[in-house]
Amino acid sequence: MFQKEEMAANGTGVTSPRTPLKSILTEKAKGIPNDSAGTVKAQTIEELHSLQRKRSAPNTPLQGTAGAFANLSEDERQRQQLQSISASLASLTRGTGPKVIRGDPGGGKYQAVSHVAHHHHHIEAPVISVSDSSLKFTHVLYNLSPGELYEQALKYEKGSFLTSTGALATLSGAKTGRSPRDKRVVIDDTTQDELWWGKGSPNIEMDEHTFMVNRERAVDYLNSLDKVFVNDQFLNWDPKNRIKVRIVSCRAYHSLFMHNMCIRPTPEELENFGTPDFTIYNAGQFPCNRYTHYMTSSTSIDINLNRKEMVILGTQYAGEMKKGLFSLMHYLMPKRHILSLHSGCNMGKDGDVALFFGLSGTGKTTLSTDHNRFLIGDDEHCWSDDCVSNIEGGCYAKCIDLSKEKEPDIWNAIKFGTGETLSSLFLDHLTWTTIIVLGLIFLPLPPPFVSAVLENVVFDEHTREVDYTDKSVTENTRAAYPIEFIPNAKIPCFGPHAKNVILLACDAFGVLPPVSKLSLAQTMYHFISGYTALVAGTVDGIKEPTATFSACFGAAFLMLHPTTYAAMLAEKMQKHGATGWLVNTGWCGGSYGSGNRIKLPYTRKIINAIHSSSLLKATYEKTEVFGLEIPNEIEGVPKEILRPENAWADKEAYKNTLLKLAGLFKNNFETFTEYKIGEDKKLTEEILAAGPIF
């Protein structure tokens, strides 16, 4: 009887007599007050150490909450959870999943699944032989906390270090950027008709069978390891359109990265998680077999929409997982008439929402992180009939040349510690009517315990201070931090319909004006064009400044034809009266090499003028060739830089460069001239006429 009660009380079925150690009192000690707070409730050192780590969720989920597992005993619930993970890792040829147990094979203390874990805990890690896979156990490190993941990384992953601010610095291996040429999408009867294939499309086809070959390769590799990390998390803050994802990976770094980047479930949500909507198998440390059909390198990133799975082989760059899930959302959301956007998003205290579109490195993260506004998200959003919502739970900032002075919020986010939810100071500025009218809910959540991951940065061996100017490993150094690390993040991350749509282009040619106001047709023209000219790339291998056109400012992630997204954007902008802007965050006064990059403080002034509506009231002049409306003045921005031709010393060179760029725009748009944008024939014609005229 007593035993039963104790089992129910600690929820594990493990019973241990907890008689405290008797303290020995000598004659001398009698009468002397004991300064210790009591005696230790442990009989052995192991037990003492086991007391140090308090059992908590998710290992000990809360009792009594309703949901998928509501009527199950704790043992049964955990058994089903392990079964689900085993099924995720199942070999399709052998027809079975591995024997999974919870816990760290290195002797760590995570094995909450009592009976299974206890029996096999002492098994020595065998020399791995795949043919013995049915005999061995795969340890599952399930939704570990940042602290646990830190320990795993520091203990077992070479190249993992603590920086002076407590961030985890790590290396992503040979790949320090995405590998879009190695992306494959399974073509089947459904996707053949639904998806965007062919010229300009990022979706390079692969057949179902080849996917299975790569999946098996990844699963076999994962099964051959002593341990794998499993994250069960969410995408999309819009509760009606939340997607459940499971990420299986082999590195603590990957698990921590996704912990930061996806939405973190509460213990209750995790308990009721059930079957994921999509699963990633990240076996990035292991290459694909180049003799496999469709493979052109040893890297392969494969999406199978029918199986709801993604396989990663031959790259450890964590951005592949983040952007792979983004591709998934670009498929799932439009099916629900929701527009998925490669954009940053923030909101003013009056509820004015701005979207920041732009290719990698154009300023989405930098400019959406604004101390005077609420951050909704830095990179991936959905625009539904109800709201604009962030897909992710974290930000992924470029950190080359990061400075505390210029970007204090990002700088301060690169740490280990607790996140700040919306500061009360900021709340004071919000009137209650605003809160009620906008239906904003600011949850008084306890600050979560989280930590940033720094990829491929260089730091001082002794002080552990990061040198953000050092490009020794790569130019594409990155920080991934949970959104709560930005003090004025808006949690939950959604807001009302967008008022301003800002298209960012980093124009290395230096001929686009720092800011221009766009008509709806021009907005669509530039959205479909998706221009930028970067100097250094996120995309693996590209280091030179080149013009890039990427439809919808994110062709690499589109699943459907660009005009599908464009038509939805046009409709939403019309419906909600949003204004489009083109902002050049790149060069002025000359091309890359002779001119200079526009100073961030000037760009911020421009963006402020857009937010405050003051720019809307300015007087404008139209430019030649591109027909862009340029404001005559903006407070705090030198007048000379607003008109590019004034900023260039060599007017002849300016004109030639302008025409060169116009030609590139025209060539690029040729593929789109035969498409209709939605039902509106008039708009389609206007869009075609909204490009450069020369």
Ligand X SMILES: C=C(OP(=O)(O)O)C(=O)O
Ligand Y SMILES: Nc1ncnc2c1ncn2[C@@H]1O[C@H](COP(=O)(O)OP(=O)(O)O)[C@@H](O)[C@H]1O
Q: Identify any residues that bridge with 178 across adjacent strands, giving them in sequence order.
A: 539
**Token pair of 493 as six digits:** 């991350």
Is 323 assigned a catalytic role?
yes
Instruction: Name the residue nearer to Ca ion (CB basis): 379 or 407.
Output: 379
CA-to-CA distance for 389 and 494, rounded, in angstroms?
A: 4
Is 490 assigned a catalytic role?
no
Residues with Cβ within 8 Å of residue 328, at least 6 apart in sequence:
243, 278, 303, 305, 310
474 makes contact, choosing from Ca ion, ligand Y, Mn ion, none, with CB < 5 to 8 Å by partner type, with: none
Instruction: Name the residue nearer to ligand Y (CB basis): 367 or 452.
Output: 367
Residues in the chain: 694
**Which of 342, 398, 415, 611 is flagged as catalytic?**
342
- Find the shortest distance in angstroms from Cβ 136 to Mn ion: 41
Q: DSSP letters along 241-303, please?
A: G-EEEEEEES-HHHHHHHHHHSBPPPHHHHHT--S-SEEEEEETTSPPPTTSTT--SS-EEEE
Backbone CA torsion sign across 482, 488, 490, 495: negative
- The helix (H) or strand (E) run that includes residue 10 is helix 2-10
CA-to-CA distance for 264 and 233, rounded, in angstroms?
A: 6
Instruction: Name the residue nearer to ligand X (CB basis): 251 or 323.
Output: 323
By CB under 6 A, is residue 452 in contact with ligand Y? Answer: no
Considering only residues 568 through 627, tell me which ones interact with ligand X, judged by CB under 6 A: none
366 makes contact, choosing from Mn ion, ligand X, ligand Y, none, with CB < 5 to 8 Å by partner type, with: ligand Y
Strands 204-206 and 227-235: unpaired
Ramachandran category for residue 510: left, alpha or beta (phi over 0 → left; psi -120 to 50 → alpha): left
Ramachandran category for residue 626: left, alpha or beta (phi over 0 → left; psi -120 to 50 → alpha): alpha
- Find the shortest distance in angstroms from Cβ 638 to ligand Y: 14
**Which of 323, 381, 499, 572 is flagged as catalytic?**
323
Instruction: Name the residue nearer to ligand Y (CB basis): 112 or 397.
Output: 397
By CB under 6 A, is residue 178 in contact with ligand X? Answer: yes
653 makes contact, choosing from ligand Y, ligand X, Ca ion, none, with CB < 5 to 8 Å by partner type, with: none
72 closest CA partner among 269, 81, 85: 81
The widest CA-to-CA distance across the chain, in whole angstroms, is 103
Only one of the segments 228-236, 379-387, 537-545, 674-682 lies at the binding site for Mn ion (rule: CB under 5 A); that segment is 379-387
Instruction: Name the residue nearer to ligand X (CB basis): 358 or 644.
Output: 358
3-class secondary-structure state, position 445: coil
Tell me how many helices (H) and strands (E) the chain has. Answer: 21, 33
Q: Torsion angle, CA of 124/127/128/132, rounded to 10 degrees?
A: -80
> Site for Mn ion (CB under 5 A): which residue of 217, 251, 364, 561?
364
Residues 374-413 vs ligand Y: string with x where CB under 6 A? -----------------------xx-x-------------
Q: Which amino acid is at 371?
A: H
Instruction: Name the residue nearer to ligand Y (CB basis): 39 or 546.
Output: 546
CA-to-CA distance for 11 and 474, rounded, in angstroms?
A: 49
- Find the shortest distance in angstroms from Cβ 611 to Ca ion: 21
Is 478 assigned a catalytic role?
yes
**Token pair of 334 as six digits:** 């439009």
Is 251 assigned a catalytic role?
no
**Which of 160, 360, 366, 451 is flagged as catalytic?**
360
Residues 353-382 vs ligand X: string with x where CB under 6 A? -------xx---x-------------x---
CA-to-CA distance for 386 and 379, rounded, in angstroms?
A: 20
Considering only residues 590 through 649, tell me which ones interact with ligand Y, judged by CB under 6 A: 597-598, 600, 603
CA-to-CA distance for 637 and 603, rounded, in angstroms?
A: 8
Only one of the segments 21-29, 88-96, 97-105, 377-385 lies at the binding site for Mn ion (rule: CB under 5 A); that segment is 377-385
Instruction: Name the residue nearer to ligand X (CB basis): 365 or 579.
Output: 365
Instruction: Name the residue nearer to ligand X (CB basis): 152 or 282.
Output: 282
What's the burial of 129, exposed, middle or buried (CB within 10 Å: 0-12/13-18/19+)? exposed
**Which of 220, 379, 409, 540 is flagged as catalytic?**
379
- Find the shortest distance in angstroms from Cβ 539 to Ca ion: 11
- Find the shortest distance in angstroms from Cβ 556 to ligand X: 7
Question: Which 8-state DSSP code applies to residue 489?
Answer: B
Considering only residues 499 through 528, tell me which ones interact with ligand X, judged by CB under 6 A: none
323 makes contact, choosing from Mn ion, ligand Y, ligand X, none, with CB < 5 to 8 Å by partner type, with: ligand X
**Binding site residues, ligand Y, CB under 6 A:** 358, 360-367, 397-398, 400, 585, 597-598, 600, 603
**Binding site residues, Mn ion, CB under 5 A:** 364-365, 379
The residues that are catalytic are 178, 323, 342, 360, 364-365, 379, 478
**Binding site residues, ligand X, CB under 6 A:** 178, 319, 322-323, 360-361, 365, 379, 396, 538
